[in-house]
């Protein structure tokens, strides 16, 4: 399939991070927390579409809602009741969400959040954290350390972004409040908003130190800069959102996505009514947020089913399994004296080929990539699927047996690929 795909897709790929040498995997079907690959092999799914499949595959209520949505026809270019119902659910549930807009992806949610912040404040600069990933678009695909920028310096994370766009973004270090404020303070009068994750997801599942995130939030409040929380990935770790639930923080704007669509493309942007009013078409000056598939009826129906199914208990169980996986991984690293550790935030985590967990994107990037891919392969050979950069997640269908199997596989895999010649002699 890979060879066939090479003829039609650049590098056989349509989502950069799923490429892995010698060839990417192809899925045939999935059920619960299991996936069958194209060659018929079944594996325990801890990839879960990079944590987005929080209810596993083919969750009965979500599947029924999707079928109902499809049977109703559409989309119509008209609003549908499920869009209202999902927005109502979100208002009741997520801290700080007074009004909602729907998009088709997390990327679009952050894009519209940046526009809203600018339109509301009349200021144009945006600040984001080093290693913060907010989607695949020019306004935010900026500022990682991979191309060797010095702290505070913004660089495009990918070729193809205009330097004028990069110049409008400030980048501050994550988990270093003094360092961050040193970047932010001189910009205070020009900043529309600060865009930040509760944990650096793509950069290595690196949780924010609570005092760091609280410090950023306090600074935003005193300077009249909007706090835009990117909870596209993290919201599934806390009933009212990760920041509200675990840190008591309420944002001005919050971006959601991933798990919200129950497997369908979705994104959402919510927040303070006076800020969200920039999208109100009854106003004379309105932020244009168009989209043929905004508020897609099938995704809206799925979203309602997702929020109904993801109650506090379900979230706590997923989070607890995430904690057990991360602690188990650290235990294996410690006992066997291997460069293996893990970080997690609730049910979303990552294995690190290192003795100490990184607390910044720079530290995560400094880790060698090769052994991590070896670890991914060695886990796969033992029936455990994680991402090629060794991110993992749990879902409501993940069983305790699967958690045990993961750790047993990890123990073997780590011994196989992470043992240096010296440690091999000892063990
Ligand atoms: N923000 C965060 C924190 C994310 O993890 C992601 C996706 N990995 C996005 C935004 C972008 O979402 P999408 O892939 O749906 O565009």
Query: In which residue are the tokens 């526009």 written?
Result: 115
- Distance of CA 134 from the midpoint of ligand 1 (Å): 5
Question: Is the pLDDT reported for residue 153 higher than 80?
Answer: no
Question: Is the pLDDT reported for residue 195 higher than 80?
Answer: yes
- Distance of CA 135 from the midpoint of ligand 1 (Å): 5
69, 200: one domain: yes
335, 347: one domain: yes
Residue 181 pLDDT? 97
Question: Is the pLDDT reported for residue 139 higher than 90?
Answer: no
Query: Alpha carbon 247 to chain centroid distance?
Result: 18
145, 253: one domain: yes
Question: Is the pLDDT reported for residue 345 higher than 90?
Answer: yes
330, 246: one domain: no
Q: Residue 423's pLDDT band (boundaries 50, 70, 90)?
A: very low
125, 253: one domain: yes
Query: Is any atom of ligand 1 closer than 6 Å to the C-beta of 197?
Result: yes
Q: Kindly give, in sequence order, each residue whose CB lies less than 8 Å from that of residue 362, ignoring residues fewer than 6 positions away.
A: 130, 131, 145
The 3 state secondary structure assigned to the chain is CHHHHHCCCHHHCCCHHHCCCCCCCCEEEEEECEEEECCCCEEEECCCCCCCCCCCECCHHHHHHHHHHHHCCCCCCCCCHHHHHHHHHHHHHCCCCCEEEEECCHHHHHHHHHHHHHHHHCCCEEEEECCCCCCCCCCCCECCHHHCCCCCCCCECCCCCCHHHHCCEEEECCCCHHHHHHHHHHHHHHEEEEEEECEECCCCCEECCHHHHHHHHHHHHHHCCEEEEECCCHHHHCCCCHHHHHHCCCCCEEEEEHHHHCCCCCEEEEECHHHHHHHCCCCCCCCCCCCCCCCCHHHHHHHHHHHHHCCHHHHHHHHHHHHHHHHHHHHHHHHHCCCCEEEEECCEEEEECCCCCCCCHHHHHHCCHHHHHHHHHHHHHCCEECCCCCEEECCCCCCHHHHHHHHHHHHHHHHHHCCCHHHHHHC
Residue 106 CA: nearest ligand 1 atom is: 12
110, 238: one domain: yes
Determine, yes or no, domain membership for 142.
Answer: yes
Residue 151 pLDDT? 64
Determine, yes or no, domain membership for 369.
Answer: yes
- Distance of CA 187 from the midpoint of ligand 1 (Å): 26
Question: Is the pLDDT reported for residue 421 higher than 80?
Answer: no
Question: Is the pLDDT reported for residue 145 higher than 60?
Answer: no
405, 358: one domain: yes
- Distance of CA 179 from the midpoint of ligand 1 (Å): 25
Average pLDDT over the chain, rounded to whole? 94
pLDDT in tens, 84-123: 999 999 999 999 999 999 999 999 999 999 999 999 999 9
pTM of the model: 0.96
Question: Is the pLDDT reported for residue 211 higher than 80?
Answer: yes
Q: Which of 309, 330, 357 is at the close of a domain?
A: 309
- Distance of CA 82 from the midpoint of ligand 1 (Å): 23
Nearest CA to ligand 1 atom 12: 106
Determine, yes or no, domain membership for 145.
Answer: yes
Query: Is any atom of ligand 1 closer than 6 Å to the C-beta of 103?
Result: no
CATH number of the domain enclosing 363: 3.90.1150.10
Could you tell me the residue range of the domain that residue 157 belongs to? 60-309
223, 281: one domain: yes
pLDDT in tens, 32-50: 999 999 999 999 999 999 9
Cα 57 to Cα 46, 271, 299, 327, 404: the distances in Å are 12, 30, 15, 26, 20
Determine, yes or no, domain membership for 155.
Answer: yes
Residue 152 pLDDT? 65
Q: 92 near 160, Cβ under 8 Å?
A: no
329, 292: one domain: no
**Which region among 143-147, 259-263, 359-363, 364-368 has the lowest average model confidence (pLDDT)?**
143-147
153, 263: one domain: yes
Question: Is the pLDDT reported for residue 357 higher than 90?
Answer: yes
Number of structural domains the chain divides into: 2
Determine, yes or no, domain membership for 423.
Answer: no
Mean pLDDT of 138-160: 75
Nearest CA to ligand 1 atom 1: 134
248, 129: one domain: yes
Q: Residue 192's pLDDT band (boundaries 50, 70, 90)?
A: very high
Determine, yes or no, domain membership for 422.
Answer: no
Determine, yes or no, domain membership for 424.
Answer: no
CATH number of the domain enclosing 94: 3.40.640.10
Q: Which of 249, 280, 309 is at the close of a domain?
A: 309
Nearest CA to ligand 1 atom 10: 134
Nearest CA to ligand 1 atom 5: 233
111, 160: one domain: yes
Determine, yes or no, domain membership for 265.
Answer: yes
- Distance of CA 323 from the midpoint of ligand 1 (Å): 22
Residue 420 pLDDT? 67
Q: Quote the CA–CA distance of 352 and 355 in Å, as a whole number.
A: 8
Q: Which of 309, 344, 362 is at the close of a domain?
A: 309
Pocket test for ligand 1, best of 195, 233, 243, 349 (most atoms within 8 A of CB): 233
Query: Is any atom of ligand 1 closer than 6 Å to the C-beta of 133?
Result: yes
- Distance of CA 270 from the midpoint of ligand 1 (Å): 16
Q: 95 near 244, Cβ under 8 Å?
A: yes
Question: Is the pLDDT reported for residue 425 higher than 60?
Answer: no
């Amino acid at each position: 399939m890979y060879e066939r795909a090479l003829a039609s897709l650049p590098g056989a790929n349509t989502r950069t991070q799923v490429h892995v040498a010698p060839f990417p995997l192809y899925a045939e079907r999935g059920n619960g927390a299991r996936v069958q690959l194209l060659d018929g092999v079944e594996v325990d799914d801890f990839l879960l579409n990079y944590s987005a499949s929080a209810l596993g595959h083919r969750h009965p209520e979500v599947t029924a809602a999707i079928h109902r949505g499809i049977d109703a026809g559409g989309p119509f270019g008209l609003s549908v009741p499920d869009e209202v119902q999902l927005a109502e659910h979100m208002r009741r549930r997520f801290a700080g969400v007074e009004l909602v807009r729907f998009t088709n992806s997390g990327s679009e949610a952050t894009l519209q959040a940046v526009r809203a912040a600018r339109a509301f404040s009349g200021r144009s600069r945006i600040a984001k954290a080093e290693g913060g990933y907010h989607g695949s678009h020019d306004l935010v695909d900026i500022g990682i350390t991979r191309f060797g920028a010095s702290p505070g310096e913004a660089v495009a994370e990918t070729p193809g972004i205009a330097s004028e766009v990069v110049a409008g973004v400030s980048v501050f270090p994550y988990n270093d409040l003094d360092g961050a404020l040193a970047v932010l303070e001189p910009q205070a009068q020009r900043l529309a908003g600060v865009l930040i994750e509760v944990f650096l997801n793509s950069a290595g599942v690196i949780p924010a130190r609570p005092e760091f995130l609280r410090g950023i939030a306090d600074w935003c409040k005193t300077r009249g800069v909007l706090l835009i929380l990117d909870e596209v990935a993290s919201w599934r770790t806390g009933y009212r959102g990760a920041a509200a639930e675990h840190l008591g923080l309420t944002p001005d704007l919050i971006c959601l996505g991933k798990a919200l669509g129950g497997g369908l493309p979705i994104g959402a942007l919510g927040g303070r009514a006076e800020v969200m009013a920039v999208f109100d078409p009854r106003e004379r000056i309105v932020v244009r947020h168009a989209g043929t598939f905004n508020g897609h009826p099938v995704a809206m129906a799925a979203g309602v089913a997702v929020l109904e199914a993801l109650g506090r208990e379900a979230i706590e169980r997923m989070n607890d399994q995430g904690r057990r996986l991360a602690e188990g991984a650290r235990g294996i690293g410690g006992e066997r004296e291997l460069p293996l550790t893990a970080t997690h935030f609730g049910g979303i985590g990552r294995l690190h080929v290192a003795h100490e967990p990184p607390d910044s994107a720079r530290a995560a990037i400094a880790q060698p990539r090769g052994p991590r891919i070896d670890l991914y392969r060695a886990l796969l050979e033992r029936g455990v699927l994680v991402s090629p950069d060794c991110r993992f997640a749990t879902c409501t269908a993940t069983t305790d047996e699967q958690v045990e199997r993961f750790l047993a596989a990890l123990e073997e895999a780590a011994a196989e690929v992470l043992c240096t010649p010296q440690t091999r002699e000892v063990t």
